[in-house]
Structure 1
Amino acid sequence: MQEKNFITVDGKRFHYMWLRDNCLCPECRDPNSFQKIYDISEAQSPPKPVSVVEEDDKLTITWQEQPIHQSVFPISWLMAHVNELDTPVQSSRKIILWNKTDLQKERTVRHDFHNCDFDVWVNQLFSLGFTILENIKSTQELESFICSMGPIYETYYGRFIAFIIAMRYTLFFPSSLFPLPSSLFPAPKSLLRSPCSEVPKNQRFVPHGYKTCYIPVKPIKGTEAVDLAYSAVGHPLSPHTDFTYLNLGRLLQFIYCEENNASGGESIVVDGYRVARDFRQNHP
């Protein structure tokens, strides 16, 4: 059943904006990594369907675009992604839903690691959802700081993970998790010293916990990357949430970048809750 902005499938409502944003076709998602390529914010107008057909356990939507675009969703996939509202989280801390203008009013979101008021940092972390710690000298120093707050949550990636990716003679990245969990980091210089001072251009160096190993890989082209984050060619990474596929409680993620010799790699921070609130108010 179609409504003004929704379609109802098996008693569940799906917004056209959400459906178009989550199109599963290879033009909208990288066919190798399945990461999103399509950026709905670049659309000239809100998505509108020309036709909606439900048959053979699939929902096919033809969108009013130039050129015409078609999205096909397995009904089972839609049912697995029904939006169920969670019980609101109660907190004594003030939660700030921010945009760029709001952040400019804040005293600071940048804190010197060695000259930081811990209470101010924690309160800002919980009120804004992120902060920036500067002048961390090593991953060992970062690990000690993280462990002073709680245990590090280890995933199948390990405790701390560093990726150095060879791509046309440039070196890229690393990663780690905290129960609050780990993510990607650029590789610490200490890990590049003997016996690993020279990393072959066709290999990926992965410090895994406190062990190291070499994993042979090809130079990564945009069409071959398992993850677009590891590709220096192709599509940029749009704002996203890491580790949504893990069944975990609320966690903190620490991303440590020591050095980046490749072009690009700038970080973008977005308050998804503010986006959702504004969208709800502007498009009830």
Structure 2
Amino acid sequence: MITMTEKLREQFDAGLLSGQELRDDFTIAQPVHRYTETDHAMWRTLYERQATMLKGRVCNEFLEGLETLGMDKHRVPDFEALNERLMRATGWQVVAVPGLVPDQVFFEHLANRRFPASWWMRKPEQLDYLQEPDCFHDVFGHVPLLINPVFADYMEAYGKGGLKAHGLGALDMLARLYWYTVEFGLMRTPEGLRIYGAGILSSQGESIYSLDAASPNRIGFDVRRIMRTRYRIDTFQKTYFVIDSFEQLFDATGPDFTPLYDALRDQPTLGAGDIAAGDRVIHTGTREGWGDSEDI
């Protein structure tokens, strides 16, 4: 497993930190002077593609957040400009980081209403896929929903819960909750299923696959079930969990998770594509095209 020291070394070697001060909280000043025309063109391409194809696929709360933020469509956004609107709406702000940060640091930021966003843009050859989140994923995918008061409160609560889980040895269970909600969550609406997870929102392919494909399972949201379920980082998801509202999400994750962690430690984990007894199954996947690599 790669260590944080090795990850920082990679970031230095890639020029993501070169000539910049890394603060104690792993943030940096967004180096807006380092964005090239290629970076801005990549942002513009991704924004136009996703904004067009997400119509009728994304939840209304995301669209409302995007409109309220007035996010730049043509150039990589200046975080300070975004923060003026974001702070007024929900007290959140975006802070620039060179890439992945330690778990404890990540939770500290969320618990204090700061969203750590990678400042750098993917390369043209990474248009459709990259393993590590870049600025487009973090800013376009995550930030608009921080305008929504309930979702904003959920993210703060998640950060506080993460600090506690870190001391209880339960990060694996809490990470699954983040993965299946914040990154790859779906919502049931009167108009049909809609996307709210940033990992889907920032991906053209998964924006289509998550709603239209027959291959994956779609299962009603359940905290216990999610915390037992492994996930995929190398392919589209085998299972998507569906909430009815952000209020449901916030209410279900409000109680102290300590007794839940204790109870779940004695239960077996489930594969990313498993269907379990008691599941509220919305759609049973055909499993077509599923890879045979290991779940996380």
Interval containing the TM-score (normalised by the shorter chain): under 0.3
Higher relative contact order (CA 8 A, sep 6+): 2
What TM-score do the two structures reach when normalised by structure 1? 0.25
TM-score (norm 2): 0.24
**Higher Cα radius of gyration:** 1
